[in-house]
């Protein structure tokens, strides 16, 4: 049972200097205010040391972090993290690392993971683009997932969307050969753009066949933003691409 408290505490959250957005990189997110609930504060105070990975200028070693060799899933932009918690619980044979820029999401997932004593999950606070580039070794990830990424619906903001040719080449660099990039969105225009970008992206092939969206895999839980989309009457589109080279 996910719990939360309505009591709030005002906090100032410093973004780690090494993981804050690159000054010349176009940001894929909006900054949001940071008022922690009591449980979020508890998440950082009690469980942050265990679940929140520190960036220390060298690539993460998942084997050392989790104390075993297991398939690694990295989620970009997990929001409040409820669906990532569900996935980590449902797949104890895999390890999961979530990257999120929103401090409340980081704090909330630390709280939930701590309550459940989840062994196969860690999180990183910062811009996923910089973190992937600087802190993940090439060919070290089995799956990268991006669920209900900010859709940036206005044309002038499309350049902020995460799925862009250059970002997908960064993902390709970090995935193992045979690794999967899985995205889902409730914005039809963004879904079609994802397909257009990925169908011609070097080194990737569409698991559903060129030009096709994938069936929703049964391992993908409903996310908070997916439910929001459903309530607005939106459809949902999944794209699944394999790194071939
Ligand atoms: C629309 S929300 C979706 C959250 C969650 N995946 C869901 O489906 O409920 C998108 C999330 O991605 C995060 N985000 C966007 N760009 C990011 C980036 N470059 N690095 C880390 N997080 C990012 C935002 O802070 C936000 O929490």
Residue 26 lies in a domain: no
pLDDT per residue over 112-141, tens digit each?
Answer: 999 999 999 999 999 999 999 999 999 999
Backbone angles phi, psi at 45, to 5 degrees: -65, -45
Contacts of 166 (CB under 8 A, 6+ apart): none
What confidence tier does 21 reach under pLDDT thresholds 50, 70, 90? low
146 domain residue, yes or no: yes
**Residue 4 bears catalytic tag:** no
DSSP state of 23: T
Q: Write down the catalytic residue from 95, 125, 150, 238.
A: 150
Place of tokens 């679940």: 51
Tell whether 88 is covered by a domain: yes
Pair 190, 233: CB distance under 8 Å: no
Q: Is 152 among the domain residues?
A: yes
Testing ligand 1's pocket by substitution, the residue of 73, 149, 190, 229 carrying the most ligand atoms inside 8 A of its CB is: 149
Query: Which residue is listed with tokens 């804050």?
Result: 20
Q: Is 81 left (phi over 0), alpha (psi -120 to 50) or beta?
A: left
244 vs 91: CA distance, rounded Å: 25
Per the structure, the count of domains in the chain is: 1
Per the domain annotation, does 12 fall within a domain? no
Of the candidate ranges 35-44, 54-63, 114-123, the one whose mean pLDDT is the lowest: 54-63
Q: Which of 77, 182, 237 to mutate to test the pocket of ligand 1 (most atoms within 8 A of CB)?
A: 77
Give me the helix-helix angle, 128-135 and 165-174, nearest 10°: 40
Domain presence at residue 20: no
pLDDT at 148: 98
> According to the model, what pLDDT value does residue 32 have?
77
Contact between 161 and 193 (Cβ < 8 Å): yes
Per-residue pLDDT averaged across 27-53, rounded? 92
Atom 23 (ligand 1) nearest CA: 77
pLDDT interval class at 22 (50, 70, 90): low
The share of the chain scoring above pLDDT 90, in percent, equals 84
Residue 5 lies in a domain: no
Is pLDDT of 6 > 90? no
CA proximity to 128, closest of 79, 89, 90, 94? 79
Q: How confident is the model at residue 70 (pLDDT cuts 50, 70, 90)?
A: very high
CATH of the domain at 237: 3.40.50.150
pLDDT of residue 9: 42
What is the CA 72 to chain-centroid distance, rounded?
13
Containing domain of residue 80, as a range?
Answer: 36-243
Helix (H, G, I), strand (E, B), or coil: what is residue 48?
helix
Q: Give the other-Cβ count within 10 Å of 119's Cβ.
A: 14
* 6 found inside a domain: no
Residue 245 Cα to ligand 1 middle (Å): 27
Q: Is the pLDDT of residue 5 over 50?
A: no
Q: Judge whether residue 44 has pLDDT over 90.
A: yes
Q: How far is the CA of 101 from the centre of ligand 1 (A)?
A: 7
Residue-wise pLDDT for 199-226, tens only, equals 999 999 999 999 999 999 999 999 999 9
Centre of ligand 1 from the C-alpha of residue 225, in Å: 10
The token duo for 245 is: 């080279």
Q: Which amino acids bring their CB within 6 angstroms of ligand 1?
A: 28-29, 76-79, 99-102, 105, 127-129, 147-150, 223-226
Q: Which atom of ligand 1 is nearest the CA belonging to 127?
A: 20
């Amino acid at each position: 049972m996910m719990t939360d408290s309505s009591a709030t505490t005002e906090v100032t959250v410093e973004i780690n200097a090494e993981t804050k957005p690159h000054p010349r990189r176009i940001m894929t997110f909006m900054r949001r205010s940071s008022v922690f609930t009591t449980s979020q504060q508890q998440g950082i105070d009690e469980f942050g040391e265990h679940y929140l990975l520190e960036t220390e200028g060298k690539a993460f070693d998942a084997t050392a972090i989790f104390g075993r060799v297991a398939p690694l899933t990295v989620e970009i932009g997990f929001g409040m993290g409820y669906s990532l918690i569900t996935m980590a619980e449902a797949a104890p044979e895999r390890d999961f690392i979530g990257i999120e820029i929103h401090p409340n999401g980081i704090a909330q997932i630390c709280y939930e993971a701590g309550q459940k004593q989840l062994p196969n999950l860690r999180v990183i606070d910062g811009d996923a683009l910089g973190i992937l580039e600087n802190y993940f070794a090439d060919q070290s990830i089995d799956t990268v997932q991006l669920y209900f990424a900010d859709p940036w619906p206005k044309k002038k903001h499309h350049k902020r969307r995460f799925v862009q040719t250059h970002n997908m080449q960064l993902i390709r660099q970090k995935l193992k050969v045979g690794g999967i990039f899985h995205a889902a969105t409730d914005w039809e225009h963004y879904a079609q753009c994802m397909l257009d970008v990925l169908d011609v992206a070097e080194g990737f092939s569409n698991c559903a066949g060129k030009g096709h969206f994938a069936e929703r895999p049964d391992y993908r839980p409903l996310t908070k933003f997916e439910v929001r989309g459903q309530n607005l009457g939106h459809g949902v589109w999944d794209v699944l691409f394999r790194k071939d080279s």
